[in-house]
Amino acid sequence: MTATAKPVWLDIGPITQIEPGMAATLPVEGGEEIAVFHTMGGEFYALVNKCPHKQGPLSQGIVHGDSVSCPLHNWRISLKSGKALGDDEGCTPTIPLKVDAGRIYLLREAVVPGKAPPLASALAA
């Protein structure tokens, strides 16, 4: 008999750490740096902090609506799907995120697949 493992959510801090229209980064020991975005509409999204074009730091891009413009060559990346928009092609991995009682949580196994607790530090705005 097997039991389905319950998802483990990592508390990465209060929502107030990230101003609307901004992003913060989360260094991950043994994994990819994550960018956490707060849209002007009040939504939160997490993506690996690498543009699918040439790995530009998406956390330094401009957030508009539910997309971000890469600071290097201005590709627009969907915060919902991680996909490049318009004529560009490519996809950045998304990290499942939830907000509960004013705090942000990331799905642990998506942060560092198959590894133990991965967080190196808290969010850096």
The residue ranges that bind ligand FES (CB under 6 A) are 51, 53-54, 56, 70, 72-73, 75
> Shortest distance, CB of residue 75 to ligand FES, whole angstroms?
4
In this structure, the number of other CB atoms found within 10 A of the CB of residue 105 comes to: 20
CA distances (Å), origin 87, targets 21, 53, 76, 94:
24, 12, 10, 20
Which of 33/109 has CB closer to ligand FES? 33
Which of 66/88 has CB closer to ligand FES? 88
DSSP output for 8-60: -EEEEEEGGGS-TTEEEEE-BTTS--EEEEE-TTS-EEEEESS-TTT---GGG
> Shortest distance, CB of residue 82 to ligand FES, whole angstroms?
13
> Shortest distance, CB of residue 64 to ligand FES, whole angstroms?
15
Which of 76/103 has CB closer to ligand FES? 76
